[in-house]
Amino acid sequence: MPVVVPAGVDVSVKEDQISVKGAGGSLSLSQNALVKVVSKDGKLSFEPANDSREANAMSGTMRQLVNNMVTGVTKGFEKKLSLVGVGYKAQAQGAKLNLTVGYSHPVNKDMPAGITVATPAPTEIVIKGADRQRVGQVAAEIRAIRPPEPYKGKGIRYADEKITIKETKKK
């Protein structure tokens, strides 16, 4: 299945890397020797270089990684986190995120380049960026500051995450 390159997105395929530039920024990916990338008519197609199992698997992986890069520079990716707990709040200040999540001190998290953070409400965090992997990684790192606990459900969780609450110990 070919990757369709929309108007306004520039894709350059070199022997060692694939670069994608668009309105949302520019991303690059190192080329794999097991995959042949063919660009024609505004579409990129990925074929295995030989008929080994690894080359076949890597062709699908490379196709999806490039598709994520094209989607990232056009629309971008976002992850939403929510804070559950009395007194838990988040505040975005530029490229910093200040969290008050039940510790004796506030937790400050610096955002890497290319990632923006917003707090539309004190208990909501929205992470945006062009690189899907980095957006997910930053969201996982923020969640790891105070993961949801299984008895009351307090902590930082993904907006669509369901927490199974355990029953307390009975006498």
169 belongs to a structural domain: no
170 belongs to a structural domain: no
Shared-domain flag, residues 149 and 82: yes
Which amino acid type is present at position 115?
I
164 belongs to a structural domain: no
Q: Please give the average per-residue pLDDT across 123-131, as a whole number.
A: 93
Place of tokens 């930082």: 156
Question: Rounded to two decimals, what is the model's pTM?
Answer: 0.87
Domain final residue pick, 74, 99, 123:
74
Quote the longest CA-to-CA distance of the chain: 71
Domain final residue pick, 74, 100, 119:
74
Domain count, the chain: 2
Shared-domain flag, residues 90 and 131: yes
Show the domain range for 130.
77-158
pLDDT tens profile 13-54: 888 889 999 888 889 989 888 888 888 888 888 889 888 899
Shared-domain flag, residues 82 and 65: no
pLDDT tens profile 55-110: 999 999 999 999 999 999 999 999 999 999 999 999 999 889 999 999 999 999 99
163 belongs to a structural domain: no
- The answer to whether 97 and 128 are in contact (CB under 8 A) is no
CATH code at 87? 3.90.930.12
